[in-house]
Amino acid sequence: MRLIYEKSVKGRRGFKLPQPDVPEQEGIPAKFSRKHKANLPEASELDVIRHFTNLSCMNFSVDNNFYPLGSCTMKYNPKFTEKIVKIEGFLELHPLIPQLLGGGRLAQGALEIIYNTEKLLCEITGMKAFTMQPLAGAHGELTGAMLIAAYHKNKGCRRRHIIVPDSSHGTNPASAAIAGYDVIIIKTDKDGCMDIKEFKQKLNKDTAAVMLTCPNTLGLFNTRIKEITGLAHSVGALVYYDGANLNAIMGKCRPGDIGFDVVHLNLHKTFATPHGGGGPGAGPVGVSGSLVKFLPISRVMKRPGGVFYLNYNNKESIGYIAPFYGNFAVILKAYAYMLILGKDGLIKASEYAVLNANYILSRLKDYYKLAFNRRCMHECVFSASRQTEKGVHALDIAKYLIDKGFHPPTIYFPLIVKEAMMIEPTETEPKETIDGFIDTMIEAAKLAETDPEKLTTAPRTMPVKRLDETKAARDLNLRWKPT
C-alpha cells in the first residue's frame, strides 16, 4: 500500500483548529525558528481514517486470529477495560496533580487503584511489596537488577555477576549487563531445567543473583526450584523471578513462598492488557521484605484514616526509574481484569492455559519432535528438526500457518532448541480453534514429507510474499523522503 506521505495532496487538511480568540502577538524570533516546514502528509480526515483502517486490516491480531506466540501470552483482551481507561477522571488526570500542595485529595481514586493493584499482586505472588512503575517487562528486569545491586551495596559488598540459564529470555542477560553485572550462563540439563551441578560450580560469594523463569521458556516447571533458591541464599545471593510465565501457576505456586526475592510481572501477558502492537505494557516489580526499602520513588501509601498519599521520603531508594507512577492506563486495565476474574477466575485461567497447552502437546507429539519429552505447563516447545531433514524449516511451517489464518508460534526461541517452535495457546481459546491449528500443523508435517514446496513458498495469501531481510539491513531505508 502507498504511504500516507505518497497519498498527500497539497492543500488538504484533516483537522481544523479554532480561530485564535486572542489578539495577534509577536512571533517567535527567526533565530529560534525552523527554516523548512516539516513535510508531514496533507490529507483529509477520511483520507487518514481510510489509510490507517486499511493498514489495520493487514495485521493478524488476537481479535482476528489464533495467536499462540510462545512466552507472549496472547490471551483475549476483555473489552470493558477499554471503556474504563476512557473515563474522564482517569484519562485527563495530570500526573503532577497529587504532587501539588493539597493536590493529593484530587487524585484519591487513581492512587487507590495503584495501591490496590499492588496489594493484589502481592497476594498473587507472595511478595511483600510492589512498585508499579516499570513501563515494560524488560524495564522491570532492569529495575530488579538495580534493586539487587542496592541490596548488596547496602550490605557493603559489590558482587560481580548474575547467573542465568541458557534457556532464559534474551532480556534477562541484557538487563543484568546493563545494570553493570557480568553474566554467567548455565546450560540446560537433560530434563530441560538449569543444570544444578554446573550451577553449584558457578555459584559463589561473587554471585549477586540468579535470574529464573519458572516454568521456564521450555514450558517446564523446575521441580528442584526450592533447592536452587536455597543454594543461592546459602551464599548470600538473591533469586529473581521472571514473571513472563506467571499465567501457568496462579493459585498453584507463589514465587514469594518458594524463596524468590525479586519478581517482575508482565501485566500485558498474565493480566490481559492488550499488547498494542509491541507496547505499551507494564512490568511491575515485587520484592521480599528485605528489599522493600530500596523500591523506586515514589510509593503510594495509605494513612490509617484511609487517605492515600505519595511517599518521597525514602533515602535508601534506588531513585526514579519512571517519570511518574507507571503506565497508569495499563495498570487500570489489569486491576479491572483481576476484579472481574476474582480468585476462582485467576486460578481457572492458569488451569485452562495448562490444559490447552498439554492438549496441543499430546496431539502433536507424534508429528513433531518434542524438545523435552515431559508434560508441559502453559506452553510446549517442539523442534522442526525432523522436517528439516526434508528441507523444511520452522520458518516455513510458520509461513504456512499464516496462509491458513493462524499466527505462528514463537520460532527459533529458546535458542537452545534447534528449529524451535514454542506454542502458547492461553486459556481463552476454544477447543475447535485449537483443533483447527493442530490439524494444520499435522498437515504441514505431512506436506514436509510429500510436497515441501507448499511450505517453502508460503505465504501466498498475504499482501506481500517473503521479504528480503538482508537487503533491509544492508540498504537501509528507514523513512520516507520527499522527492
Partner 1 sequence: MTYIPHTKEETREMLDIIGVSSIEELFKDIKPDLRPKSFDIPKNRSEIEVIRHMQELASKNAAHLTNFLGAGFYDHYIPAAVDAITSRPEFYTAYTPYQSESSQGWLQSIYEYQSAICELTGLDCANASLYDGGTALYEAAMMAIRITGKTRIIMDSGVNLIYRTMLYTYTSNLNIEFVETPVVHGQSSREQIYKHIDERTAAVIVQNPNFFGAIDDHSDIIEKAHSFGALAIMSVYPLSLGVLKTPGEMNVDIATGEGQSLGIPLSFGGPYLGVMACKKDFVRKMPGRIVGATVDKDGKRGFVLTLQAREQHIRRERATSNICSNEALCALRASVYVSLLGKEGIIELARLNHRKSEFAKDILGRVSGVEVKRSSPTFNEFTLILNKNADVVAQKMIDKGFAAGFPLGRFYKGMNRYLLVAVTEKRTKEEIEKFAEALEKVLCD
Find the binding residues for partner 1 in span 388-427 (CB under 8 A): 398-399, 402, 407-408, 410, 413, 427
Backbone angles phi, psi at 381, to 5 degrees: -120, 120
Q: Quick one: which of 189, 195, 351, 443 contacts partner 1 (CB under 8 A)?
A: 351
Q: Evaluate whether 409 touches 423 at the Cβ level (below 8 Å).
A: yes
> Chain-centre distance of CA 365, in angstroms?
28
- What part of residues 437-476 is at the interface with partner 1 (CB under 8 A)? 459, 462-469, 471-473, 475-476
Output the nine-digit C-alpha cell for 297: 520513588
Q: Is 95 in the site for partner 1 (CB under 8 A)?
A: yes
Q: Is 301 in the site for partner 1 (CB under 8 A)?
A: no
Q: Please name the helix (run of DSSP H) or strand (run of DSSP E) that holds residue 185, with its range, or none.
A: strand 182-186
Mask for 8-47, x = binds partner 1 (CB under 8 A): x---xxxx-xx-xxxxxxxxxx-xxxxx-xxxxxxx-x--
Only one of the segments 232-240, 285-293, 314-322, 440-448 lies at the binding site for partner 1 (rule: CB under 8 A); that segment is: 314-322
Q: Quick one: which of 154, 200, 233, 276 contacts partner 1 (CB under 8 A)?
A: 276
- What part of residues 164-183 is at the interface with partner 1 (CB under 8 A)? 169-171, 173-180, 183
> What minimum distance in Å lies between the beta carbon of 450 and partner 1?
23
Output the nine-digit C-alpha cell for 174: 541484557
Q: Is 332 exposed, middle or buried (0-12, 13-18, 19+ CB in 10 A)?
A: buried
Only one of the segments 199-207, 340-348, 385-393, 447-455 lies at the binding site for partner 1 (rule: CB under 8 A); that segment is: 340-348
Q: Quick one: which of 187, 200, 233, 375 contacts partner 1 (CB under 8 A)?
A: 375
Only one of the segments 196-204, 231-239, 352-360, 440-448 lies at the binding site for partner 1 (rule: CB under 8 A); that segment is: 352-360
CA dist., res. 449 & res. 441, Å (int): 13
Q: Evaluate whether 392 touches 456 at the Cβ level (below 8 Å).
A: yes
CA dist., res. 195 & res. 401, Å (int): 35
> What minimum distance in Å lies between the beta carbon of 1 and partner 1?
7
Q: Is 386 in the site for partner 1 (CB under 8 A)?
A: no
Q: Quick one: which of 189, 227, 236, 258 contacts partner 1 (CB under 8 A)?
A: 258
CA dist., res. 85 & res. 65, Å (int): 25
Residue written as grid cell 553485572: 181
> What minimum distance in Å lies between the beta carbon of 53 and partner 1?
7
Q: Is 71 in the site for partner 1 (CB under 8 A)?
A: no
Burial 333-370 (b: 16+ CB within 10 A, else e): bbbbbbeebeeeebebbbbbbbebbbbbbebbeebbbb
> What minimum distance in Å lies between the beta carbon of 181 and partner 1?
9
Q: Is 383 in the site for partner 1 (CB under 8 A)?
A: no
Q: Quick one: which of 262, 318, 417, 448 contacts partner 1 (CB under 8 A)?
A: 318
Q: Is 1 in the site for partner 1 (CB under 8 A)?
A: yes
Which residue number, 389 or 435, has a Cβ lying nearer to partner 1?
Answer: 435
CA dist., res. 313 & res. 299, Å (int): 9
- What part of residues 185-224 is at the interface with partner 1 (CB under 8 A)? 220-221, 223
Q: Is 348 in the site for partner 1 (CB under 8 A)?
A: yes
Q: Evaluate whether 358 touches 376 at the Cβ level (below 8 Å).
A: yes
Backbone angles phi, psi at 118, to 5 degrees: -55, -45
Which residue number, 76 or 236, has a Cβ lying nearer to partner 1?
Answer: 76
CA dist., res. 137 & res. 387, Å (int): 34
Mask for 120-159, x = binds partner 1 (CB under 8 A): x--xx-x--------xxxxx-xx---x--x---x------
**Cβ neighbours of 78 (radius 10 Å):** 17
Q: Evaluate whether 222 touches 250 at the Cβ level (below 8 Å).
A: no
Q: Quick one: which of 61, 204, 314, 388 contacts partner 1 (CB under 8 A)?
A: 61
Under rule CB under 8 A, how many of the chain's residues touch partner 1? 205
Q: Quick one: which of 66, 68, 110, 265 contacts partner 1 (CB under 8 A)?
A: 110
CA distances from 342 to 124, 337, 357 (A): 11, 8, 23
Q: Is 264 in the site for partner 1 (CB under 8 A)?
A: no
